[in-house]
Amino acid sequence: MPLVSNRYDSNRFDSDVAEEGDEVVTIGDVAKAAGVSRSTASYALTGKRSISPAVKQRVIDAVQELGYVPNAGARALSTSQTKVIALLARFLDDEFAPAMLQYILGVTNGARELGYDTLLVSEEDGVHALQRLSSSRQVDGFVLLNVSEEDERLAVLGKAPQPGAMVGLPGDPDGFDVFDLDFVASGRLMVDTLHELGHRELILVSQPEDVVERGGAYVWRLANAARERAAELGVTLHSSFGASQQPGIGDDLKRLLDAHPSATGLLLNNEAAAAALPSVLLARGISVPVDLSVVGRYSDDFAKTFSLPFSAIDSAADELGRRAVRQLVARIEGGDEAPAPHTVELIPPVIHDRGSIAAPTKAPRG
């Protein structure tokens, strides 16, 4: 049996325990099975003392046979690390929950691949949650979602002994690792793409106004950039907020299509609108892209989940989560070698063409 020494290093502690089925396997059980003392078994796993290769192999074999897994609490006492990352994310009524899940999966999958567990913290008082977890040393670091323009959690994070990273660009990112889609470039790209095809009147549906009021800067960053670009190009852009769920968002889409029958392009910075749009178009007999070109902003996984046929800027939810985790783990494990200075990474937008954009027809809809 090969020696799996990289699994048993100085991040272990001699009182670690784990469960196999309903029974608790201890370091003492490992020592007995290997025919060595408890301290020898511990040294063989931690590397704190030199142990002969033959003895170390017997201990490793016993570990694998018994299914022994070191206990995280004991390991934390030994190394000051828990191998746990706290993910602070809230499921808000004015945001589409399935879209938030895409970001959460990016963080949790990225953490697991790097050997970390994720503690999802969704309580409303994010400041208190961050203070509690930081002071109790329950986690090695933090990833923040739902980042607002003036996010109150940042003051606490800046003073915490643990490092942090965030998905979402705050108003002042100085001193933090920040990862986000470039929403300004996204708004411009949406307008440029349809303008180049000949569209001269567009509708933009954004997230609910509540999101803006609480500091959801990504909404106005995209909307403002789209309006400015449209004005530069002589394109008429009707900008509106939309609800975050049915039936409200369906009604909003119907109202906007009725109000602007000569619009030939629809821009969506609202995942709920993208999910509701197919049924709205079908009920009205509107064909995409013959009657209406559509460009959204959501992740590829989101498009697959809802079988969306619309071209869209990939929100890169999975990639953003993974980048945040990689940077965070580098700071956790790097010590003096930790990456510096802090970074702000904005992913350039790319439209994934699913066949929903084309040159406009001459006759207006309706």
What was the pLDDT predicted at 59?
Answer: 85
Looking at residue 349, the DSSP 8-state letter turns out to be P
Higher pLDDT, 180 or 40: 180
Check whether residue 49 and residue 93 sit in a common domain: no
Query: Is the pLDDT reported for residue 106 higher than 50?
Result: yes
Query: Could you give the C-alpha distances from 281 to 253, 286, 296, 334, in angstroms and in order?
Result: 9, 5, 15, 52
The answer to whether the CB of 129 falls within 8 A of the CB of 121 is: yes
Check whether residue 143 and residue 156 sit in a common domain: yes
Check whether residue 32 and residue 56 sit in a common domain: yes
Is residue 363, in this structure, part of any structural domain at all? no
How far is the C-alpha of 293 from the C-alpha of 263, rounded, in Å? 9
Check whether residue 116 and residue 235 sit in a common domain: no
Higher pLDDT, 45 or 312: 312
Q: Is the peptide bond before 163 cis (omega within 30 degrees of 0)?
A: no
Query: Is the pLDDT reported for residue 136 higher than 60?
Result: yes
Is residue 355, in this structure, part of any structural domain at all? no
How far is the C-alpha of 274 from the C-alpha of 297, rounded, in Å? 9
Domain boundary among 21, 51, 79: 79
Q: Is the peptide bond before 289 cis (omega within 30 degrees of 0)?
A: yes
What was the pLDDT predicted at 40?
Answer: 85
Query: Is the pLDDT reported for residue 338 higher than 80?
Result: no
Flag the least confident range among 164-178, 273-287, 315-329, 333-347.
333-347
Query: Is the pLDDT reported for residue 32 higher than 60?
Result: yes
Looking at residue 260, the DSSP 8-state letter turns out to be -
Looking at residue 4, the DSSP 8-state letter turns out to be -
Is residue 352, in this structure, part of any structural domain at all? no
Check whether residue 252 and residue 190 sit in a common domain: yes
Flag the least confident range among 31-40, 80-89, 232-241, 331-340.
331-340
Q: No. of H helices and E strands in the chain?
A: 14, 14
9 burial (CB, 10 Å; 0-12 / 13-18 / 19+) is exposed
What was the pLDDT predicted at 35?
Answer: 93
Contacts 24+ apart (CB under 8 A), 337-342: 338/163, 342/173, 342/174, 342/175, 342/176, 342/177, 342/178
What was the pLDDT predicted at 3?
Answer: 30
How far is the C-alpha of 274 from the C-alpha of 207, rounded, in Å? 11
- Locate 49 and state its tokens: 């003392």
**Residues forming beta bridges with residue 17, ordered by sequence position:** 26
Cα 234–236–238 angle (5° rounding)?
A: 150
Q: Of 3-7, 16-20, 341-345, which has the strongest mean pLDDT?
A: 341-345
Is residue 360, in this structure, part of any structural domain at all? no
Check whether residue 261 and residue 298 sit in a common domain: yes
CA 275, chain centre distance (Å): 20
Tell me the mean pLDDT in the region 67-75: 59
Rg, Å, the chain Cα set: 26
Check whether residue 206 and residue 292 sit in a common domain: yes
Check whether residue 150 and residue 263 sit in a common domain: no
Mean pLDDT, all residues of the chain: 86
Confidence of residue 56 (pLDDT cuts 50, 70, 90): confident
What was the pLDDT predicted at 47?
Answer: 59
Confidence of residue 68 (pLDDT cuts 50, 70, 90): confident
What was the pLDDT predicted at 295?
Answer: 98
How far is the C-alpha of 124 from the C-alpha of 155, rounded, in Å? 17
What was the pLDDT predicted at 111?
Answer: 94
Check whether residue 99 and residue 200 sit in a common domain: no
Q: Residue 62's domain is classified under what CATH number?
A: 1.10.260.40
Query: Could you give the C-alpha distances from 55 to 17, 66, 119, in angstroms and in order?
Result: 21, 17, 37
The answer to whether the CB of 142 falls within 8 A of the CB of 132 is: no
Is residue 93, in this structure, part of any structural domain at all? yes
Check whether residue 302 and residue 222 sit in a common domain: yes
Is residue 34, in this structure, part of any structural domain at all? yes
Number of domains in the chain: 3
pTM of the entire predicted model: 0.77
Is residue 23, in this structure, part of any structural domain at all? yes
**Residue pointed to by tokens 């323009």:** 149
Query: Could you give the C-alpha distances from 159 to 44, 120, 123, 248, 349, in angstroms and in order?
Result: 38, 21, 21, 42, 33
Confidence of residue 335 (pLDDT cuts 50, 70, 90): low
Q: Residue 103's domain is classified under what CATH number?
A: 3.40.50.2300
Check whether residue 203 and residue 117 sit in a common domain: no
Check whether residue 22 and residue 111 sit in a common domain: no
Is residue 366, in this structure, part of any structural domain at all? no
38 burial (CB, 10 Å; 0-12 / 13-18 / 19+) is middle
Question: Whole domain around residue 241: which residue ranges?
Answer: 183-314
Which residue stretches of 50-136 are H helix? 53-66, 72-79, 97-113, 126-136
- Locate 181 and state its tokens: 């889609």
Flag the least confident range among 77-91, 115-129, 350-364.
77-91
Among candidate residues 246, 226, 224, 244, the one with its CA nearest the CA of residue 236: 226
First to last CA, the chain: 73
